[in-house]
Amino acid sequence: MRRSKNTALAGISVVAALLLAACSQGGSDTTAPAADEGTVTDTTAAKPAPFDAGLVKIAIVQNSGAGDYFQQWTNGAKQQAEAIGFDVQIYDAQADNAKQATDMETAIGSGVAGIIVDHGQKDTMCPLIKQATDAGIPVVVYDVAISDCAPDAVQTQQSDASLAQAVLEQMAKDLGKDQKVGYVNVLGIAPLDRRHVVWEEIVKANNWTQSFFVGKFTNAVATDNAQLVDAALKANPDVTGIFAPYDELTKGTVSAIEQNNLQGSIKAYGIDISNADIEIMTKEGSPWAATAGTDPNAIGAAVVRNMALELAGQLGVKSVDFPGVLITAAFLKENAIKNMVDLRAALPSLNLAEVSAADWIPAVKF
């Protein structure tokens, strides 16, 4: 059996509505993009228990928003779940923390073999995640900091520090030292907190002056934060760069820069990548200079594989990081990249089919 790199989750008999969102939560695009279709790798070994006895029932308890990151994440999770043999109930709170708590309570009492928690507030979800693991229900968490309060759960996440480091080093290279900069973020959300730590280090190292810090998390992140950034720019039009470390925040930032006709003097830097992001970054005159990210489809699939490995007793770790890459607007334009399909072809490292894999798991490759 091939050595497992980390988890899984598959086969889906979806009983609930698909979520709307991304490692970003919010946005203004109401048209759902076509789902990316993955290819399934061959297996070379028999399925272990409990997968050798039919479909395995699990739940995904999600806290999404608008935008296509979450749509892609869920698409990857659904395809991988179907390939493995999961029967999946999806709950989506859509930026409502109280609803996610209720959803988690429902999932715990539903008789599932395991639960995946996708995003959410630590204070809200940690007690419930611990309740689930104490009851003997394996839990795999994506982008919620739970290691100190629910140590028996499996924590997965993008490598947020390396993502922030990559894009902020590009920002420093582009802007130089002693600049006035803006910052758009929402603290209290695990990945954004991890990116914030790197931001503070880069600001200090480059002697930047942080002229403003705005941001809020809603179910319309891009639209609502565009208003905040618009007001900040009217008071601070002399900033030369803005870091908004989540693509829906970046979209709102770009919109505000353009509304104030400052795209010629201010550059925006984000984290996460999607079809919509690529379209904005490659638009003529776009201020969005660089981002860093993973393929959300591949991440969703990898999280599900982690669940499969955990249920089979083969995971062997409690923390899994997914690597990302730096993506500049210049790179996208030079390589005529129009969408995620083009980007995957240009950057094969976005594919994570070998991460959290085993020879009995039919991994979905995007």
Q: For the chain, which residues make up each domain, given as ranges?
A: 160-293
Of residues 203, 216, 212, the one with CA closest to residue 168: 203
Return the structure tokens found at 172.
């420093």
Residue 23's pLDDT is: 39
Cβ neighbour number for residue 235 with a 10 Å cutoff = 8
Span 237-243, average pLDDT:
98
User: Is pLDDT at 78 greater than 90 in this prediction?
Assistant: yes
Q: Is 283 helix (H, G, I), strand (E, B) or coil?
A: coil
Provide the phi-psi class of 150: left if phi over 0, else alpha when psi is between -120 and 50, else beta: beta
CATH number corresponding to 160-293:
3.40.50.2300
Return the structure tokens found at 191.
């990945």
Contact 147/319 with Cβ under 8 angstroms?
yes
Burial of 366 (0-12, 13-18, 19+ CB in 10 A): buried
**What is this structure's pTM?**
0.77
Span 170-193, average pLDDT:
95
**Alpha carbon 69 to its chain's center:** 7
Q: How far apart are CA 185 and CA 214, in angstroms?
A: 6
Q: How far apart are CA 24 and CA 68, in angstroms?
A: 9
Contact 242/263 with Cβ under 8 angstroms?
no
Position of tokens 């005159």? 285
User: Is pLDDT at 10 greater than 90 in this prediction?
Assistant: no
**Among the ranges given (23-32, 127-136, 216-225, 310-319), the one the predictor scored with the smallest mean pLDDT:** 23-32
Residue 191's pLDDT is: 87
Return the structure tokens found at 279.
């379209």
Residue range 12-70, pLDDT digits in tens: 333 332 222 333 333 334 344 568 899 999 999 999 999 999 999 999 999 987 678 88
Span 279-293, average pLDDT:
97
Residue 188's pLDDT is: 87
Residue 34's pLDDT is: 67
Contact 229/252 with Cβ under 8 angstroms?
yes
**Among the ranges given (9-23, 120-134, 296-310), the one the predictor scored with the smallest mean pLDDT:** 9-23
Return the structure tokens found at 249.
């925040």
